[in-house]
Amino acid sequence: MALRESWVSRLGFILAAAGSAVGLGNIWRFPYIAGEGGGAAWVIVYLIIVLIIGYPMMVTEISLGRASRKNVVGMFKELAPNTPWWLVGALTILTSVLILSYYSVVAGWSLAYIFESALSNLGRDVDYADAFMGHITSVWPPIIWHAVFMVLTVGIVAAGIVKGIQRWVTFLWPVMGVLLVILLIRAVTLPGAGEGLGWYLIPDFGDLTAGAFVAAIGQAFFTLSLAMGIIITYGSYLRREDEIPGSGGYVVLMDTGIAILAGFIIFPGVFAMGLDPGAGAGLAFITLPGVFAEIPVAGPFFGTLFFILLSVAALTSAISLLEVSVAWLIDEKNMKRSSAAITMGTIIFLIGLLPTLGYSTLDHVSFEPIAGDILDFMEFLAENVFLAIGGLLTAIFAGHVWGEHKAREEINYGVKKGKFTIGNWYAPILKYVIPVIIIVILIVSTIEWIAPEILPWDVI
C-alpha cells in the first residue's frame, strides 16, 4: 500500500482548508442570509457564533484527522475500533456527496454567467429574473456547465494532495484576493454606496429574530465545512509537527474575512441601485446582474469578474468535498487516486442530473410540504438533517467517546511555548454547548421547513 500523502507545509494545509471553507457559502449564501437577517446586527451574532462554536469544532475535527491519519470512516474505526461509530463517517461521506451533487449545479450556473456577462447579454434592457429562469429551466446548458465544473474538480483531485489540491489552492487564493480587491474598490466608490455601507456596519438589534439566530448558526456550520468530513480528511494529511490551534484560527479567520468582504462588495451596489438587500437566494443571479448593468463604467467587466470570483470560490470548496469520498476509496478500497476521483466524480455528476432536471423535464416533482423542487429537497436533507446529525454525533464522539482530554492533548501537541493553546474552557463547550445547540438547530430547522407557521419568529 502506497505511503499516505501529507501537506508539504502548514501553509498548504491552511490554504486548502480555508479554500474548502470559502465557497458559494461565503460569496453567494452569506450575503443573502445577512440581507434577510437584517444586516450588521445579524453579522455580529454570526461572528460571536463562529468564535464560540465554529472555532472549537474546527480544531476538534482537525485533531480527529491528524490523530488517526485516516479518512473519515477509517478515523472512527481507528479511534473507536469494533464499534458502530464508523457509520457516522459513512454519513458524512454521504453528506459530502449529496452536497457536491447540487453544489456543482449552482457552480455551473456561475460558470455560465461568466460568459453571459462577458458577452454583455445581461444589459439594462434584460429581465434578469426571466434570464435566470430561462437558463435553469433549459435542459442541456445547465447539464453541460454542471459537467464542465465536475471535470475541473475531478482533474484537480486526481492529481493528488500536493500536485493537485495544494498546488491549485496556492494559485487560486491570490486570484480570489485580486478579484475581491478590485470589486471592493468599485463597489464602495459607487454613487450612493454609503447607504449600503451604513446598513452593513451600523447594527439595529431591534430587527433580530429567533430565526436570524438559527440562520447564523446554520451558516457557520455550512461555510466552515464542519460535519462534512472535509476538515477531518484534510487534518489527516497534516504532519505531526504542524500545530493545530493557530492553523484552525487562520482557517476560520480567512473564511469569515472573505464572507465579510463579500458583503462589502454586494450591499453598497444593491443600495446604490435602490434594490432589496433581502432578495434571498436570487441575489447573485438576479439582483446583482442588474447592479452591474447600472455601473456607469465597465459594468459587464465587473460583472464578469464577480462570476469568476464566485466560480473560483466554488471550485476550492468542490475539490475538498470530492476529496472526502476519494480518500475513503483510496484508504478502505485500495483504489488508485485517479480511478477513485473519476469514479466518485461520475457518480456525483449523475446524482446532480436530478436537481438540474428538476427545473425542466422533472419540474413536476415536488416534495411539499418539506421542500419544493428536487434541489430544495436535497439541500434540506444534506444541510438540515445529515449535516446537523453528523455534527452532533461527531461532537459527542470527540467529547464523550474518544474523550475531551485526548482531543485537547492532540490539539495542543507540538505548540511552541508562549503560543496560544486550548484551555479548560474547551471541555464544556465541546461536551455540552455544541451538542445542545445542534439539537436545537435540528429541531427548529425541521419545523421551519415542515410547519413554519407555528414558529414565533416575530420575537427575539
User: At a CB cut-off of 8 Å and minimum separation 6, what does 400 contact?
Assistant: 431
Q: What is the pLDDT of residues 70-95, one digit of tens each?
A: 999 999 999 999 999 999 999 999 99
pLDDT at 459 over 50: no
Whether pLDDT at 2 is above 60: no
Q: How far apart are CA 288 and CA 306, in angstroms?
A: 9
Tell me, what's the pLDDT at 454?
A: 76
Q: Which residues contact 309 (CB under 8 A, 6 or more apart)?
A: 27, 176, 179, 180, 183
pLDDT given at position 208: 77
Judged by average pLDDT, the poorest of 188-197, 303-312, 413-422, 442-451 is 442-451
State how far the Cα of 126 lies from the Cα of 131, in Å rounded to an integer: 7
According to DSSP, residue 190 is labeled S
List, for residues 371-430, the tens digit of each pLDDT value.
Answer: 789 998 998 888 878 888 999 999 999 999 999 999 999 999 989 888 999 999 999 999
List b or e across 37-68, with b for residues whose CB sees 16 or more CB atoms inside 10 angstroms.
Answer: bbbbbbbebbbebbeebbbbbbbbbbbbbbbb
Kindly tell me if the per-residue pLDDT of 136 is higher than 50: yes
CATH fit for domain 10-454, picks 1.20.1740, 1.25.60, 1.10.4160, 1.10.260: 1.10.4160
Higher pLDDT, 33 or 260: 260
pLDDT in tens, 346-358: 999 999 999 999 9
Question: pLDDT: is 64 or 300 the higher one?
Answer: 64
Which region among 222-231, 288-297, 429-438, 443-452 has the lowest average model confidence (pLDDT)? 443-452
Question: Which helix (H) or strand (E) segment is 65 a member of?
Answer: helix 55-68
Output the pLDDT for position 399. 97
Per-residue model confidence (pLDDT) at position 312: 92
Under a CB-based contact definition with an 8 Å cutoff, are residues 306 and 292 in contact? yes
Domain ranges of the chain: 10-454
pLDDT band at 456 (very low <50, low <70, confident <90, very high): low
* Residue 281 clears pLDDT 70, i.e. is over it: no
The CA–CA distances, whole Å, from 417 to 313, 405, 453 equal: 36, 20, 54
Sorting pLDDT into bands at 50, 70 and 90, what band is 458? Answer: very low
**137-147 mean pLDDT:** 97
Q: pLDDT of 4-26, one tens digit each? A: 789 988 899 999 999 888 887 78
Rounded to the nearest 10 degrees, the angle between the axes of helix 10-21 and helix 167-188 is: 50
Mean pLDDT taken over the chain = 89
Q: Is the pLDDT of residue 279 over 50?
A: yes
Residue 450 has pLDDT above 60, yes or no: yes
CA distances from 6 to 10, 31, 136, 209 (A): 10, 35, 40, 44
Task: Report which of 207, 205, 203 is spatially closest to residue 458, judged by C-alpha positions.
Answer: 207
217 — pLDDT class (breaks 50, 70, 90): confident
- Around Cβ 131, how many Cβ atoms within 10 Å? 16
Mean pLDDT within 265-275: 83
Which pLDDT value is given to residue 1? 43
Q: What is residue 280's predicted lDDT score, i.e. its pLDDT?
A: 58
What's the DSSP call for residue 397?
Answer: I
Q: Three-state SS for 123?
A: coil
Q: Which pLDDT value is given to residue 460?
A: 37
Query: CA-CA distance, 92 to 101, in Å (whole number)?
Result: 14
Q: Of 74, 68, 150, 70, which Cα lies nearest the Cα of 107?
A: 150
Q: Give the model confidence (pLDDT) of 147-165 as tens digits.
A: 999 999 999 999 999 899 9
Lowest mean pLDDT of 72-76, 173-177, 326-330, 455-459, name the range.
455-459
